[in-house]
C-alpha cells in the first residue's frame, strides 16, 4: 500500500508560506507575459506616487496661497488708491513702513501696526490676485493628479487581470493535459471532486493572487513607505508622535493573523467537507431515495452545514475585533496629530498646510495596513493552491512509455507469457497467466466475480503496467506498439458503458471528426441499434446526458458495440454487462455479436450462455489464476470448476 500513497493528492493542508521555489515556478508562468506584468507594475508605482502627491499639493495650496503672510510697501498700497481719504496713512507711509494683511473680526484688514483699514471683498481679490491664481493652478494640478490616479489604476487593474487570466488559462490547460496522461492508477486513488477542485478552484485562487493580492500588496507597501517619507519630510517630530501607535498596530496585526489563519483554515476544511458531502450524495440520490435515507441524510447535512456556519462565525468574530481595533488605533493616531499639530501650529512651529497634509496622510496610512493583513489570506491560500497544483503537475505520467513508432497489428493473435499483475504492490490480482489466442479465434472468459477478468482488459490495452511476464500481440510485445495504434486495433466494450454529454453520433464516434456521420449510421445499423435510435425524438441528434440515465442498459451495450465496430479493430474485447437484458434486446445483441465477431479475434468476458456456447475456447479464471481452458464439451467432461460454475450460473437460468 505504501507505493499507492504517492498517488494521493493531499487534502486540506497548510501552505508552506513564502517558499522561494514556489514563487520561482509561478514566475515561470508569468514570464511569457512579463511585458504585461512590468507595465502593470509601472502603472502601480505611478498611480501610488500620484496618490501620495495629492495631500502635498493641498498643503502647498494652503501654505503658499491661502495662509500666506502679506506685506505691502506703502507705494504698492498707494498705487491701489485705497486710503486717500485718510490723512494718517500718508504720514505713516512717509516713514517707509510696511502694511500687512490680517484677519480681524471676520474681515480682512490692512494694517501697519498703528493704523488699520478694512477692505471690501473686491478690494481683497484685487490685492490677492496672485494667491487666487495660485489656488486655481493648485486645483488644476489636483484634478490632473486625480485623473492620473484613475487612469493608471484603470490600466493597472486591466493589465493585471489580463495577466492573471492568461496565467491561469495556461495552468488550467496544463493541468488538463497532465490529467489526460496520468495512469489510471492515479484515478483509483484520487476522487474526481479533488481533481476538479485543482483545475477550477485552485487555479481561481491563483488568479486572485495575481490580480488582487500581488498588486495590492506592492501598492500597500509602496504607500506605507511613501507616506512615512512624506511625513518625515514635512515634520519628523510629528511623524514620531503620530506613529507611536505603530508597535500596537504591529502587535494587533500579528494577533489578527494568528487567529484569522486558524479560523480561515477551519472554514476551508469545513467547506470542503460540505462540497464532498454534496458531490457524493447528489450522485447517489437514487440510492438515498430508494432506501428512505432522506431524513438521516438531511440531519447529517445539517450538522455539516452547521459546523461550517460556526467556523465562518468564528472568522467573522476575528474580523469584528480586528477592524474596530484598527479604527480605534487610527483615531488615536489622528488625535495625536491634531493635538500636537495644533499646538505646533498655534506656537508657529508648523504651518496649517502641514497639519492638513498630516491628517490626510494618517488617513491614508491606515488603509494599506488594514488591507495588507487581510490580503494575507489570499496569499496564503494561493500558495497552498499553487503547491497542490504543482504537485498534480509533477505526478508521473503513465508508466507505460509509448514508443513513438511501432508496428501495425495485422493478424490479431494474443499471447500471455507468465503475466503477473496487481493494482497495488503486494496484492496480485492476476497470477502467472499464460495462454495463446490465434488470429480470428473466439475466446470466452468465465470466472466468479473478482476473479480478475476485467483486469485482464486493463493490461491488454496498456492501461495498467504489468509486474511480470510479457503480453504479445502478433508475436510482438505490446510496449513495442504505439499506444494509440494498440488501442485503435484492440477495441474494448466495457462492463459499464460511459456515455458523454453529446448527441448519439458523437457518442458513437467519440467526438472523432475523422469518422463521418454515414460511417456512424452504418455501424449502428450493423449492430442493430439503428432502429432503437430512430425511435428517439431527434434520432441521431438526440442529446444523451452524461450519466446516460435516459438510455437502457441494452441500448448502452449496443452503442458501445457500435463504438467498437466503427473503428474496425483487429481484436475485440467485450466485457459483458452482468445486468439482465430482455429477450428481444438479447436477440439483437446476439445477432450483432455474430456479425461483429466475424474476421476478428474476440475475447469476451462472458456472462451470457449464448456467448459461451459460441466460443471456440473457454478460459476459466479462479482467484487470479487461469485454472482451466478448452471447449465447452472438454471442460464439461472434466467435471471441474467450469462444470460447477456452469451449473450454478447458467443452467439455473435456463
Q: How buried is residue 636: exposed, middle or buried, by Cβ count under 10 Å (0-12/13-18/19+)?
A: middle
When the beta carbons of 471 and 605 are compared against Mg ion, the nearer one is 605
Selected range binding Mg ion among 416-424, 446-454, 536-544, 643-651, rule: CB under 5 A: 446-454
Task: Determine which residue in the list 234, 451, 565, 596 makes contact with ligand UTP, applying CB under 6 A.
Answer: 451
The enclosing H or E element of 445 equals strand 442-447
Selected range binding ligand UTP among 85-93, 203-211, 453-461, 579-587, rule: CB under 6 A: 453-461
Residues 183-202 vs ligand UTP: string with x where CB under 6 A?
A: -----x--------------
Using alpha carbons, list the distances in angstroms from residue 269 to 14, 60, 190, 302. Answer: 11, 53, 17, 16
Task: Determine which residue in the list 183, 226, 368, 452 makes contact with ligand UTP, applying CB under 6 A.
Answer: 452
Provide the minimum distance between the beta carbon of 459 and ligand UTP in the complex, in angstroms, as a whole number: 10
Q: Which of 153, 377, 348, 164 lies closest to 268, judged by CA?
A: 377
Are 373 and 179 a contacting pair, CB within 8 Å?
A: no
d(CA 143, CA 141): 5
Subset of residues 264 to 293 that bind ligand UTP, contact rule: CB under 6 A: none
Selected range binding Mg ion among 197-205, 448-456, 510-518, 609-617, rule: CB under 5 A: 448-456
Q: Is the C-alpha dihedral spanning 284, 287, 290, 294 positive or negative? A: negative
Task: Determine which residue in the list 51, 138, 455, 461 makes contact with ligand UTP, applying CB under 6 A.
Answer: 455
Cβ neighbours of 292 (radius 10 Å): 9
Are 444 and 616 a contacting pair, CB within 8 Å?
A: no
Task: Determine which residue in the list 240, 324, 450, 599 makes contact with ligand UTP, applying CB under 6 A.
Answer: 450
When the beta carbons of 4 and 454 are compared against Mg ion, the nearer one is 454
CA dihedral 379, 382, 383, 384 (to 10 degrees): 120
The enclosing H or E element of 118 equals strand 116-118
Provide the minimum distance between the beta carbon of 282 and ligand UTP in the complex, in angstroms, as a whole number: 24
When the beta carbons of 214 and 605 are compared against ligand UTP, the nearer one is 605
Residues 416-445 vs ligand UTP: string with x where CB under 6 A?
A: -------x-----x----------------
Q: Which does 452 bind (CB under 5 to 8 A by kind): ligand UTP, Mg ion, none?
A: ligand UTP
The enclosing H or E element of 164 equals helix 129-181
d(CA 446, CA 651): 14
Residues 488-507 vs ligand UTP: string with x where CB under 6 A?
A: -------x------------
Task: Determine which residue in the list 111, 275, 314, 454 makes contact with Mg ion, applying CB under 5 A.
Answer: 454
Subset of residues 114 to 143 that bind ligand UTP, contact rule: CB under 6 A: none
Selected range binding Mg ion among 162-170, 330-338, 414-422, 449-457, rule: CB under 5 A: 449-457
Q: Which residue is nearest to Mg ion (CB)?
A: 454
Using alpha carbons, list the distances in angstroms from residue 58 to 1, 153, 419. Answer: 71, 21, 85
Selected range binding ligand UTP among 68-76, 102-110, 231-239, 449-457, rule: CB under 6 A: 449-457
Q: Which does 455 bind (CB under 5 to 8 A by kind): ligand UTP, Mg ion, none?
A: ligand UTP
Backbone angles phi, psi at 482, to 5 degrees: -70, 135
The enclosing H or E element of 116 equals strand 116-118
Cβ neighbours of 263 (radius 10 Å): 20
Selected range binding ligand UTP among 285-293, 302-310, 381-389, 450-458, rule: CB under 6 A: 450-458
When the beta carbons of 429 and 483 are compared against ligand UTP, the nearer one is 429
Report if residue 113 touches ligand UTP, rule: CB under 6 A: no
Q: Which does 643 bind (CB under 5 to 8 A by kind): ligand UTP, Mg ion, none?
A: none
DSSP symbol at 551:
S
Are 385 and 404 a contacting pair, CB within 8 Å?
A: no
Beta bridge partners of 117: 110
Q: Which does 353 bind (CB under 5 to 8 A by kind): ligand UTP, Mg ion, none?
A: none
* DSSP codes, 185-229: HHHHHS-HHHHHHIIIIIHHHHHHIIIIIHHHHHHHHHHHHHHHH
What is the contact surface with Mg ion in residues (CB under 5 A)? Answer: 454
Residues that bind ligand UTP (CB under 6 A): 188, 423, 429, 447, 449-455, 495
Amino acid at each position: 500500500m505504501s507505493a499507492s500513497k504517492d498517488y494521493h493528492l493531499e487534502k486540506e493542508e497548510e501552505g508552506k508560506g513564502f517558499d522561494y521555489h514556489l514563487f520561482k515556478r509561478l514566475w515561470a508562468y508569468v514570464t511569457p507575459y512579463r511585458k504585461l506584468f512590468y507595465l502593470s507594475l509601472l502603472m502601480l508605482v505611478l498611480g501610488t506616487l500620484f496618490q501620495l502627491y495629492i495631500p502635498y499639493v493641498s498643503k502647498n495650496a494652503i501654505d503658499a496661497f491661502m495662509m500666506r503672510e502679506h506685506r505691502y510697501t506703502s507705494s504698492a498700497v498707494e498705487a491701489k488708491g485705497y486710503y486717500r481719504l485718510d490723512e494718517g496713512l500718508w504720514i505713516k507711509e512717509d516713514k517707509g513702513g510696511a502694511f500687512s494683511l490680517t484677519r480681524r473680526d471676520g474681515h480682512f484688514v490692512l494694517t501697519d501696526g498703528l493704523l488699520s483699514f478694512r477692505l471690501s471683498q473686491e478690494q481683497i481679490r484685487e490685492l490677492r490676485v496672485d494667491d487666487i491664481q495660485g489656488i486655481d493652478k493648485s486645483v488644476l494640478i489636483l484634478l490632473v493628479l486625480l485623473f492620473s490616479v484613475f487612469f493608471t489604476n484603470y490600466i493597472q487593474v486591466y493589465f493585471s487581470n489580463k495577466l492573471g487570466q492568461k496565467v491561469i488559462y495556461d495552468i488550467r490547460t496544463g493541468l488538463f493535459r497532465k490529467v489526460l496522461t496520468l495512469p489510471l492508477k492515479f484515478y483509483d486513488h484520487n476522487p474526481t471532486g479533488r481533481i476538479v477542485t485543482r483545475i477550477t478552484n485552485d487555479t481561481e485562487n491563483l488568479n486572485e493572487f495575481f490580480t488582487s493580492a500581488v498588486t495590492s500588496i506592492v501598492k500597500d507597501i509602496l504607500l506605507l513607505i511613501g507616506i512615512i517619507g512624506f511625513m518625515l519630510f514635512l515634520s519628523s517630530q510629528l511623524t514620531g508622535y503620530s506613529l507611536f501607535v505603530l508597535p500596537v498596530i504591529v502587535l494587533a496585526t500579528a494577533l489578527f493573523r494568528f487567529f484569522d489563519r486558524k479560523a480561515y483554515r477551519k472554514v476551508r476544511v469545513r467547506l470542503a467537507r460540505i462540497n464532498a458531502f454534496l458531490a457524493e450524495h447528489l450522485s447517489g440520490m437514487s440510492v438515498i431515495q430508494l432506501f428512505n435515507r432522506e431524513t438521516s441524510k438531511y440531519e447529517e447535512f445539517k450538522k455539516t452545514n452547521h459546523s461550517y456556519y460556526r467556523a465562518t462565525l468564528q472568522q467573522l468574530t476575528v474580523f469584528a475585533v480586528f477592524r474596530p481595533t484598527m479604527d480605534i488605533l487610527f483615531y488615536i493616531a489622528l488625535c495625536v496629530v491634531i493635538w500636537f499639530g495644533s499646538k505646533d501650529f498655534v506656537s508657529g512651529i508648523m504651518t496649517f498646510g502641514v497639519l492638513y497634509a498630516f491628517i490626510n496622510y494618517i488617513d491614508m496610512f491606515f488603509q494599506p495596513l488594514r488591507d495588507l493583513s487581510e490580503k494575507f489570506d489570499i496569499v496564503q491560500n494561493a500558495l497552498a493552491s499553487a503547491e497542490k497544483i504543482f504537485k498534480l503537475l509533477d505526478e508521473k505520467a503513465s508508466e507505460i512509455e509509448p514508443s513513438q513508432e511501432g508496428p501495425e497489428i495485422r493478424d490479431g493473435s494474443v499471447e500471455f507469457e507468465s503475466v503477473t499483475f496487481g493494482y497495488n504492490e503486494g496484492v496480485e490480482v492476476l497470477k502467472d497467466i499464460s495462454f495463446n489466442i490465434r488470429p480470428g479465434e473466439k475466446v470466452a472468459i468465465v470466472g466468479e466475480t473478482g476473479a480478475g477478468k476485467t483486469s485482464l482488459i486493463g493490461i491488454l490495452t496498456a492501461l495498467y503496467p504489468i509486474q511480470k511476464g510479457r503480453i504479445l500481440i502478433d508475436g510482438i510485445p505490446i510496449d513495442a506498439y504505439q499506444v494509440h495504434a494498440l488501442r485503435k486495433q484492440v477495441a474494448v466494450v466495457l462492463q459499464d458503458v460511459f456515455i458523454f454529454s453529446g448527441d448519439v453520433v458523437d457518442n458513437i464516434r467519440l467526438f472523432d471528426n475523422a469518422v463521418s456521420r454515414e460511417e456512424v449510421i452504418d455501424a449502428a445499423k450493423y449492430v442493430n441499434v439503428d432502429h432503437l435510435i430512430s425511435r428517439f425524438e431527434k434520432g441521431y441528434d438526440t442529446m444523451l446526458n452524461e450519466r446516460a440515465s435516459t438510455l437502457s442498459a441494452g441500448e448502452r451495450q449496443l452503442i458501445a458495440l457500435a463504438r467498437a465496430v466503427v473503428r474496425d479493430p483487429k481484436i475485440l474485447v467485450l466485457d459483458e454487462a452482468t445486468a439482465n437484458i430482455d429477450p428481444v434486446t438479447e436477440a439483437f445483441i446476439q445477432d450483432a455479436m455474430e456479425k461483429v465477431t466475424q474476421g476478428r479475434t474476440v475475447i469476451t468476458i462472458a456472462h451470457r450462455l449464448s456467448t459461451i456456447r459460441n466460443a471456440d475456447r473457454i478460459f476459466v479464471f479462479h482467484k487470479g489464476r487461469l485454472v482451466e481452458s478448452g471447449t465447452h464439451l472438454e471442460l464439461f467432461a472434466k467435471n471441474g470448476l467450469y462444470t460447477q460454475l456452469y451449473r450454478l450460473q447458467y443452467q439455473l437460468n435456463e
